[in-house]
Structures are given as C-alpha cells and as structure tokens.
Structure 1
Amino acid sequence: MNDHFGLRIWALVGILAFSPGRARAADATFDVVVVGSTPGGIMAGVAAARAGRTAAILERGTHVGGLPANGLGATDIGTRGATGGLFLEFVGRVKRHYVATYGADSPQARDCSDGYHFEPRVAEQVFEGLIAEHKGRLAVFRRRQFDAEPANVDREAGRLVAIRVRDRDSGAVETYRAKVFIDATYEGDLAAAAGCAYRVGREGRDENDEPMAGRLYKAWGGVPGPGSTGQADNAIQAFNYRLCLTRNPEDRVEVARPARYDRDEYLSLADDVREGRTTAPGGKAGKSMALAWDSIGRIVNPVAIPNGKVDANNQHWNFLSSDLPEENWPWPTSGWDWRDHFAGRLRDYTLGLLYFAQNDPALPEDFRARCREWGLARSEFADDGHFPRQVYVREGRRVVGEYSFAAKDAVPTRPDGRPPIHADSVTASHYALDSHAVRKREPGRAHLDGFFSSPSRPYTVPYGVIVPKKVDGLLTPVPVSGTHVGFSTLRMEPCWMALGEAAGEAAALAIEADLAPRRVAVAALQERLVKHGAVLMYFRDMKPGDAHFEAVQLMALRGCLEPDAWLARPDDPVTEAEARRWIEKSGAAGVSPDEARSLKRGELLDRLRRASK
C-alpha cells in the first residue's frame, strides 16, 4: 500500500482513533496491523510508524498499555541497561514526568527510581503520548475483539493477509488487511488462528536438560524436594492482579466484602500467620522478609512506587497469596467469554483475600488493624472501582518459532561468563528464570508446585523467537517461542517492549524489500535497532549514545570481542593479536593490522564496521 492511501485511511478515522471505543475502520488497509496494545504491541506500532509505515493497533478494551498500565509499576528487570531502545525511552519519559510535575528533589522523583517505578496512570499517559506523536501514521482502534478462530483470518499461499475483528460496541465485523501482522497478545490468539504451531504447559526435565522444568517442589531459595519428578504436563503458572494499594487516608478506598466471598478459601493463611509458617527453607521468615511483614506484606509483596502507593504482587513466601493457581489453566486457549468469567472470579478472590486479612477474627486483631491501614488507590482505575482492569497473564500460548529459547540461552556457559551469544540478537535482556506456582497447596510439600526463581545473566535474544514457523506475514514478539522455563525470563515487559520494537522495524524492512519477515536481512535490522539505541549485547561500560556504541554492539555479535568479556573498553589500545583477530572476524577489506594497532579499540571497531558493510 502506498503512503498516500494509508494517510487517506487515517483521514477517515482521524482523531476518533484516540477516542475510547469510537474509531471506525470497516475494511481498512495498513502496512502493519498489530493485535494487542500491550507494551510490546505499542512499541511495535511506534517502531513501524517511525520507519515510515502506516500501522494500526487493535485493542479489546478501552485503555492501552497492558500490565504496566494495570498495576505492574515495579519494573521487572535484572540488570538496568541490559535493555534499551524504546523501553529505555519509556523509562526516561516516566522519570521526566515525575521531575517536571513534582521537582527533581521531590519524593515522587526519588520513588520513581529513575523511571523504573511508576503509577499505572502515569504508564498509560506515557504510552498514550508515544502513540499520539505518530497519529499521522499510527491508529489505535479500541473495543475491537479478535477471536482466535480460523474463520477470522485469510491466508494466501501461506501468508496472512487479512483478519476480522468485532466492534464490541456496535457488534459490527471489521476486516483489516496488512502486509505484515504482529501478534502482541499475551495469549497468542492471532498466531493460533493463523495456524501457527504452539505449546501450552510445561516440558519435562529431560527434554531440554532444564533443572527447573516439569513438576517441581522447592522451598523458596531452597533445592528441589520430594515430589519433584520433572514430569511434563499441561499446567501453566498462576495469574493474579497487580494491585495498586496505598495507606494515604486521602487516597485510600476501603476494601469492601465482595459479593462472592468464601471465607474457607483463606483460613489456611490465618493458620500460617499465627504459627509463623512460610515457604522459606525451614518454614521460618528471615530478615529479608521484614518489609511490612507484620502487615499487608504478609499477604502480598508490596514495592514502593510514587505518591505513597505500592505495586502489590503475589507474596512468594506464602502458600496462599494473590495468585490463583490451577483455575487459570484453560485461559490460553479459551474464548473471551470464559476469560471474562475467570477475570471476575479472580477479582472476587483478590478482594476477598484483602477483606479477610483486614476483618476476619481468625487473624490476630493487631495484625488486622495494620492491614486495615491499606486500601485501593482512589486515584487509579476510576472507571473500574479503583481495581486493575487487566489480569496479569504470565503465560499463554508459546508460538513455535524459528528458534526456541530455553534455560541454556540465559545461563552462563562457564562461571562468571556469558550465556551463549546469538549473532542474530535483536535485544539483550536480563531477568531470572522465574515461574509462579501451577498448583494450589498440597499437604506435605515445601511450596506450591512450579514456583521457582533460578539465576541467569544478561543474555541475547535471537530474531527467530519472534518468527513463527510456516506462517508468513506474521511476527510474534509477545507469545514468543520458548520452553516454559526459557519463556519465564523473556516474559517481562522490558524484553517484550524490545521485541515489539524489533518486530515493528522488521515489518518495515520486510515491506521495503518485498520479503516475508523471516527473509529480512538480520544485519540490516540490527543496524536500524542500534541507531535507535537498542542494546543487542550488554556491556557494563557502554550505553546507548556513547561514542562507538553502535560499532561495539554490531561487531561484538560478529565475534570480535572476547566472548565472555563484560567490558568493551573502547578507549583502550588495540593489541596486535586483537587487531588480527578482529579483522579476520569482521571480514573487513582495506584495514591492515599495522594501521589497526594505531587505533583505540572503539575506533578500530568503528573502522571495521564501515569497511565490512
């Protein structure tokens, strides 16, 4: 589609695309269509628009932003600086918001932790700002539901060419055509409807030699215990809501007893509180559990965010918290009627947990009183009873891609070294291998089945994890290809944002070259990504914008730098051995070893990059 036609489409929908629920686009055509306004989806749309393509994002709800706009305000990242690009731009905009609004020395600026901690409403505001800056090319259509049925997609010669969605307000069915589609749903709905192979559940321990795979019982911080068979099954990790809580009286909303309340669900928690029982080794709390442990922190895991609020996640030291294992297993492959029913059940369960902690006589009165200091934040989610609008879907379908990411891709190959380096990396990232429980409490077990956190180091993510096998015209940066254990580290929003950006850039490249996305030149994609500040391979002494940053990133992936080095040392002199090895690895013509030795490391990498293009 030419740009003029794309702009005419935009002129028809215009500003209405940013008015909740009312944009109309029956039978519209764009260069790129993204299903899901998750952070990965938004970054895909923004990247495609910045690359000069027209793009549409289809969102089932009224609000954009996925989990960060729905309570996940404490960013899950193991090493700050390991992920860059649009994610780092998002973080920077968050920080600027708090500094501009409250002052550089304000508590809010301090509590935003350089932009990595934020309130849900601020995350949504930043995402809306990113979208609005590209309204000439990027349209958002809200209240559009895609159902994962084969009848809702059109394929020609193995390529996805059109999809159909339902306007949830009018009931009308709309058709969207594009040269490239991007599945940015947490569930992988579009990929499934298009015929992509996918996995749900856990692989066995022996399939990929992953120690944390399959059935697993281990105390938090301990080692696998009795019952840990490593057997494969269809279990997926638990979902919850990331609550935004506060004890500021001016912002606090009292937690009322939900209409559907079953006291018996929570009584085991009262026993654990009275007896001091936890899932730590030996069953006892340690000093690291001091944060609000005698209050709401015994029920959920609170992390401070600005304006006296906390991001309250599941408390992994407990046998019972805000996660609701087992009941969510059908979610990935179910329709929206079932998902909406479960979302309501999870909401009642969560509110019931808070109500129980604050009011039930089975708990000590002083403990209840301290819990009653907390409530929902009045300044958040005003159109949903101050409760998050979106379930934290930790794991849906995992699309089978050209590469399957496993535990070995995130774990060093030797002590203090790096994980394997993927030459086709489209982002670096870092978080522990991390899964929540898959089953509820079972008598005699050290913890809930499936709960683990296992260390990793900053790793590289190959392009193949977002390229589904067999189906062309589609990229999957959110339901990425990996094992249950491998996916458990990729599933964090910083990585999803970076993969979304890579998908948007890859889509633009594919359109320009008239190729299927799987055929794009990865080297050209990497060039584009590093120009926009993406980190493809993490070095402790380099960050986007530094001199020689782009050359260090690209030439390191070609094997020029020492494979286990965490420092690039761009200002150090080049040794003779380095010069010869780098010239050979780069394949650069016209650079002699004698000339190279007169340069610093960063300067030589720049020369080799230019010479090898």
Structure 2
Amino acid sequence: MMKKIGLYALLIILIQVPCLADEKEQTYDICIYGGTSAGVAAAYTAAKAGKSVVLIEPGQLLGGMSSGGLGQTDIGNKYVVRGLALDFYRKIGKHYGTFEQWIFEPKVAAAIFNQYMEQCDADVYYGQVLLNVSKAGTVIREIQLQSTEKLGEPSMTIRARIFMDCSYEGDLMAKAGVSYHVGREDNKVYGETLNGVQLLEGHQLPDSIDPYVVRGDPASGLLWGIQESELLPKGTGDKKIQAYNYRITLTNVPENRIAIAKPDHYDPERYELLRRQKEKQPWKALRDVFIWSHMPNGKTDINNRNGFSTDMIGMNWEYPEADYARRQEIIKAHEDYTKGLLYFVGNDPSVPQVIRDEMRQWGYPKDEYVNHNHWSPQLYIREARRMVGELVMTQHHCQGREVVTDAVGYAAYTMDSHNCDRLVVNGMVKNEGNVEVGGFPPFPISYRAIVPKRNEVTNLLVPVCLSASHIAFGSIRMEPVFMVLGQSAAIAACLAIDQDIDVQEVAVSELQEILEENPKADHRQPDVLISTTDSHAVQLTGTWEKGSSGGYGHSYLEANSKTGVSTAKFVAALLPAGNYDIYTYFPRTAESAPQFDYTVYNGKTTVKKQLDLSGVEIKGQTSSTWVPLGRYSVTGGEAPAFVEISTAGAEGVVAANAMLFVPVDDQQ
C-alpha cells in the first residue's frame, strides 16, 4: 500500500513511488475525498481512532483556503473554534510565539497541515480526481479515480466502508446520487428574507456609471465584466453563484519579492469599469481598491473591496457542475484576471502615480507556493453545490428562530454572500447579490445537515458542501467551522463502522461525548473552560450586567467599578492536578478598565495579582482575545482551584466572560 506522499517532493515521487496503475484496487475503512482543512481534520481524527484512512486530493496542496491565502481568518466568534481546529490555530500561534494566532502566512499553514498527516497513519494521494462512483442500493461500494495527468483513464479504485466528501465542490456527493442545490433558493422555499436576488449597497458601484463601451451608445456593447442579465424581483431564486477570487499573497520585503509582470492574456480594457469607478470615487491609496490585510513577515492577504476589485463577478456560474478540464479553464481565467488587475493598478497611466508607486512596492513572495510559480493553486470556491440532506440549515437557524439539538459544531459569522451578478439597472452598472447581515450569537449546526437523506446514501458524510440554504451557508462556510465539521464527521464515521450502522443512525450524544473527552483527537488532555454561562461554576458578588458585544460565546458579564466592588469567582471543581497556563477572555470596549485585580487559588496557596490590559494587542477580526494570567501548579487539594476577578483597583468596566486552563504537559 502506498504511504503518504510529501507535498514538496514531487520530483522524488516520480522516481521512487510505484506507478498508480500497479495498484488498481485498495480497501480502507474510510475514504476522504478533498484535502481541504476539513479533509485533513477528518483524516487525522479517523486515523488516530485506529481506522485505516485514505485522503484523496485532486491538487498538490493540503488545507484548501487555509493554506491557499486566506490568512486573515474569518471567525465571527472564537467560541465556534474547537477541537482540532483550535489546535491548528494554537500551532500557528506557537510558530509565531503567541498563544493562538489567526493571521498567518500560507506556507506556515501548509506545513502544519502536512505535519498532521505525517503524524498519523493515513495514506494521501495527490493529483487524483473522481471519475466514477459505484453503489449497491444506498451504499457506496467504491470510487474510481483518474489522474489529472491522464483525464478519462482510470488510475485506481478505492473501496471503503464509509466515504466522506470534504471537497469544496461536492463531486463525490453528486456522483453518489445525493440531492443538492446550486445557486440561490427563492425566499419562498424556506420562508427566508435574505436569499435570492438582492440589490443592496455592499461592495456596490456608485450611481451613474455608464455600462457601454462607447459611453451613451448601447450599440457599442457592454463593457467587459457586465452580464446581459435582467434584474428579477428581490428574493427570486436563480442558479447564479457568489463570486470567486484569489486571496492574494504579496510581499514588500525586497529580498523576497518577485516583481509583478504583465500576465498571460493581459487586456487593460477589462479594467475600464475600474477606471470609471475611480472617476466617481477617487483613490487615495491601495486600500481604496483592495481589502489590504497585512500578514506576518511583510506579506498580505488581499481581498475584494468596493464595486470592482478581485471578485470576478459572474464568471463562475459554470464552475460547480463543470468537469475538471473546464474548471481548470475557469481557474486560469481568474488567475489571469487577478494578475492583470495587479499589473493594471501598478502600471496603467490612468492610475494616479502615487498609487502606481505604492503598488510597485509589492510583489510575489519567493518563499510561498514554490511549486506553483509563487501563486496560490487554490481559487476561493466560496460556494458550489450544497447538499439537500436530512435537515437544511436556514436563515432561521442563524438568527435563532429555530435551534437544533443535535449539534456537531457551531457557526457565528455574518450571513455573508459576495455579489453574484453585474448588470445594467436603470441605464447604469450595478452589482447584485452582496449580503452582510450579522448581529446574532453562535448557533448550532445539526448533524442531520452533514448526512444525506436516508433513501439516497447511507455511508457518506458531507461536512463542507453541507445541507444549508445559500444564505445560511454564507454564515457557516468558514474554514474553522469546516475543520470542526470534518472532525465531527470522522467521529461519526468511526461510530458507524464500530456499530455497523448507517451514518443516519449514529447517536449524536455519543459523538458529542467523544468530542468533549478527546477534542484533540489524539488523547492529549483537554483544556478546561469555565464561562459565565456555567452558573454552577461561577460565583458572583456585587453588580454584574450583560455585556454589549465582542465576548466569547453567547454572552458575558461586566461590572463597573463606579458601582462598588464586584467579584466573579470561576471555580474549577474538576480540574486534575498538574501544571496549567491560565487565561481570561478580554472583550475590549471603550469603557474597559486598563487593569483589574485577580486571585488564583491552586488548591493549596493563594496568589493575588493585578492584570495590566493597557498593552494588550488584539489582532484579527474580533475585538477580543485571551489574556494570560500566568502558569500555575494545581495541587488537587480538598478545596477546588479557582480564579477570582474583581473591580477592586480598577477604573472602568471589568468583564467576566470565560476562564481557560490549558494543561502545559499536553501542549503541542
């Protein structure tokens, strides 16, 4: 049986690894299709549980978007990041010398994903694409693969008891005969308000931009990038897909920089809409054209901004159901467009000189994507197929009007859709489809949303192209959540194998218990988390009120020193003896006190200190972070350990949110 293939050893592979044609058939407990972050989490979890596992990745990069340029992690609320997903961001943090890190370079993420696979007994095949699926009734018996080098010719057959589709596209799901949806449902389908056609103001073009090649002359044709579409009534369903783009990694470090050259098929007229947008909205800096997020070591994660930017609106509608060859054409078109946009901004005479000069300070990093010409091989497939499974997650679940009780993960991000179309409305160019609606706490994701209907397939799990409406998927579709769902799906697969049952019959309570007892999948000691929602574990005195925003989880408490002394004691009654790093969660607001007093009791001695918050730096999308209180040895004495925070010595508002005990000996 062929063992793991190293990501950066392609030349060695060609010399040392037997031809796949010599290994026609292989059998495993679990076959995972798609080496995304979810796929890696699933493979590691199942392999550590003792199952024979194979991970199939059509490309050459593990981790999907998490290693493909999306280094500015979309979270919503850190409460949703659990298990191996949290372990991943802790490993990122260790690399950069912090506790947890949500902003990172692609090569660092790729190395960690490869490390997971090196540390477990799972096989990995690269450059293999699904060709056929064979079923007996509702059971997938085997899948047939084809090499990306020889499309149409079977390269190998994989048999397994359980299959998982962890791809962004849902190809295995589709070929297995699972119901799915492409595009936006009509609002009437699930009684939603944010699905279907939405002509809103986010990432919108300003009014009065002429859409025609010759201004004012419809006979001259539409400018590049504008579709010949008709604006349908708000909420109308269609097959249009929210725009894809590249999350672009550049660097301004001269010794690591490759100049941005004129790319293939460059045509400056493709960016005429950008010129016309600039006339209405003059640029002062690159940030007027892009969301320009800084990564460590002088790098970027660049994303779409305003009406015309890195999103290639309307050019991906074929992608979800296209074959591999056609998808590669669409991907190449996105690459050419994006590289052309960067070159245009840095060189076109219509761009202000100050912007061109700023753009030329940046280039492609020599140390990123070294086997792919320093450009990400992963296009951001924000949405493709979505399963219609045992339960469909909808806007109602996001906003708490419906709450599931069989949770296998949580989501918390804004209900987010990028634009789906660019068309002419009342004689001017408009983008359509952008939605950004938040303001809700974390919500549970149902196990029934990652399994197909029972009468379709009974040995398949789908944690990425899961069962959700377009707008609910817009909240769920974040990389940390995909990792959590991938781990949950792997546990479900193991339970189905051990108990010889269909995936639909797995007891979610057993799955949840395993996640709680073994969150890191490899039996390292779990963290102990105590939050103010655990009323039995938190003792309050004084006056505490519900916090406004930015906390960990569903809610938190805060007390103002002006109202007298208030205390919150977090009692760790079940904390085993050992050494722990203790952290308190700090949701910063304008009224936050710059310091407060706290007491730590380790079961034997009491230590009183003051926490200085004035120098705490909060990076990423949230306004909150874990703050260390120090390392303590817990004795496991007769009285339980606790941490008490107090408004004594504070001037302002003190937050009582959550306390975290991280075992030192089990950190990796």
TM over 0.5: yes
Q: Which of the residues 330, 336, 339 maps onto 2:327?
A: 339
Q: Cα offset for 1:443?
A: 4.6
CA distance in 1, matches of 2:554, 2:110: 38
Cα distance in 2 for partners of 1:519, 1:499 equals 17
The answer for the alignment partner of 1:326 in structure 2 is 314
CA distance in 2, matches of 1:263, 1:340: 23
Matches within 5 A, 1:533-552: 533=519, 545-546=527-528
Specify which of 441, 462, 465 is matched with residue 457 of structure 1: 441
Q: Could you tell me how far 1:167 is from its partner in structure 2?
A: 2.8
State the secondary structure of the residue aligned to 1:58: strand
**Stretch moving more, 366-375 or 268-277:** 268-277
Q: Does 1:41 align with 2:27?
A: no
Asked whether the 8 Å contact 1:219–1:447 carries over to 2, the reply is: no
Given the superposition, is the C-alpha separation of residues 230 and 14 from structure 1 closer, same or farther in structure 2, using an over 3 Å criterion? closer
CA gap 1:544/1:295 in 2 versus in 1, 3 angstroms: farther
Q: What is the TM-score of this pair, normalised by structure 1?
A: 0.77
2:555 is the counterpart of 1:566: yes
Give the whole-Å Cα distance in 1 for the aligned partners of 2:5 and 2:65.
Answer: 24
In 1, Cα distance between equivalents of 2:326 and 2:272: 28
CA gap 1:451/1:468 in 2 versus in 1, 3 angstroms: same
Select the residue among 64, 67, 81 that pairs with 1:66: 64
Per-residue deviation, residues 33-57 of structure 1 (Å, max 9, x unmatched): 0001000111111111121111000
Backbone CA RMSD of aligned residues = 3.1
Q: Which has the larger Rg?
A: 2
Note the C-alpha offset of 1:423.
1.4
CA distance in 1, matches of 2:277, 2:285: 14
Q: Given the alignment, which residue of 30, 33, 41 partners 1:32?
A: 30
2:251 to 242, 246, 255: 246
Give the direction of change, closer, same or farther, for the CA distance of 1:146–1:17 in structure 2 (3 Å limit).
farther
Code of the aligned partner of 2:2: V
Helix, strand or coil for the counterpart of 2:67? helix
Please say if residues 87 and 520 of structure 2, whose CA atoms lie closer than 8 Å, have aligned partners that are also in contact.
no
| Separation (CA, whole Å) in 1 of partners of 2:203 and 2:383 | 23
Can you list the C-alpha shifts for 1:298-331, whole angstroms capped at 9, x where unaligned?
Answer: 222111211011101111xx21111111110011
The one of 365, 384, 392 equivalent to 1:396 is 384
| Cα distance in 1 for residues equivalent to 2:502 and 2:263 | 51
Aligned to 1:386, what secondary structure does the other structure show? coil
User: Partners in 2 of 1:252 and 1:228 — Cα distance?
Assistant: 48
- 1:258 is aligned to 2:263: yes
Q: CA deviation at 1:472?
A: 1.1
* Structure-2 change in CA distance of 1:464 and 1:211 (3 Å): same
For 1:216, which of 198, 209, 215 is the aligned residue?
Answer: 198
* TM-aligned CA distance change 1:534 to 1:423, over 3 Å: farther
Give the equivalent residue in structure 2 for 1:84.
82
Aligned residues: 508
CA contact (8 A) 2:422 2:430 kept: no
Offset from partner CA, 1:396-426 (integer Å, 9 cap, x none)? 110111110111111144xxxxxx4321001
Note the C-alpha offset of 1:204. Answer: 1.3
2:516 to 530, 551, 562: 530
> How far 1:374 moved relative to its partner?
1.8
- Equivalent-residue separation in structure 1 for 2:304 and 2:387 (angstroms): 27
CA distance in 2, matches of 1:251, 1:210: 49
Contact 1:83 1:498 in 2 (8 A): yes
Q: C-alpha deviations, 1:566-593, integer Å up to 9, x for none? A: 36999589xxxxxxxxxxxxxxxxxxxx
Q: Measured at CA, do residues 567 and 532 of structure 1 come closer, stay the same or move farther in structure 2, by a change above 3 Å?
A: farther
Q: Which residue of 2 aligns with 1:561?
A: none
Larger displacement relative to structure 2 (200-209 or 179-188): 200-209
Aligned partners of 1:176 and 1:117: how far apart in 2? 37
Runs of 5+ consecutive residues of structure 1 not aligned to the other structure: 1-11, 100-108, 278-292, 414-419, 536-542, 556-563, 574-598, 601-613
Match of 1:474 in 2: 460
Report the Cα distance in structure 1 between the residues aligned to 2:148 and 2:299, rounded to whole angstroms.
Answer: 33
- Cα drift, residue 363 of structure 1: 1.7
Cα distance, 1:340 vs structure 2: 0.3
Is the contact between residue 442 and residue 554 of structure 2 (CA under 8 Å) also seen in structure 1? no
CA contact (8 A) 1:246 1:377 kept: yes
State the identity %.
32
Tell me if 1:511 matches 2:500: no
Alignment of 1:405-424 (within 5 A): 405-413=393-401, 420-424=402-406
Aligned counterpart in structure 2 of residue 436 of structure 1, from 409, 418, 421: 418
Give the Cα separation in 2 of the matches to 1:66 and 1:438: 22
Is the contact between residue 251 and residue 299 of structure 2 (CA under 8 Å) also seen in structure 1?
Answer: yes
CA contact (8 A) 1:427 1:534 kept: no
Contact kept in structure 1, 2:530 and 2:570, CA below 8 Å: no
Separation in structure 1 between the aligned mates of residue 556 and residue 70 of structure 2, nearest angstrom: 32
Stretches of structure 2 that go unaligned for 5 or more consecutive residues are 208-230, 538-552, 558-567, 573-639, 642-668
> What amino acid does structure 1 have at the position aligned with 2:373?
G
Q: Distance in 2 between matches of 1:61 and 1:307?
A: 27
Deviation at 1:83, TM superposition (A): 1.9
Q: Equivalents in 1 of 2:249, 2:172: separation in Å?
A: 30
Alignment counterpart, residue 494 of structure 1, candidates 480, 494, 505: 480
Matched to 1:55, the amino acid is: V
Q: Report the secondary structure of 2:42's partner residue.
A: helix
Aligned partners of 2:203 and 2:307 also within 8 Å: no
Is the Cα contact below 8 Å between 2:304 and 2:311 reproduced in 1? Answer: yes
Correspondence 1:171-190 to 2 at 5 A: 172-190=154-172
- TM (normalized to structure 2)? 0.71
1:139 aligns with 2:139: no
* Structure 1 letter corresponding to 2:245: N
Q: Letter of the aligned partner of 1:364 in structure 2?
A: P
- The 2-side partners of 1:228 and 1:98 are apart by 49
Report the CA distance shift for 1:388/1:15 in structure 2 as closer, same or farther (over 3 A). Answer: closer
Provide the C-alpha distance between the structure 1 equivalents of 2:379 and 2:114, rounded to a whole number of angstroms: 20
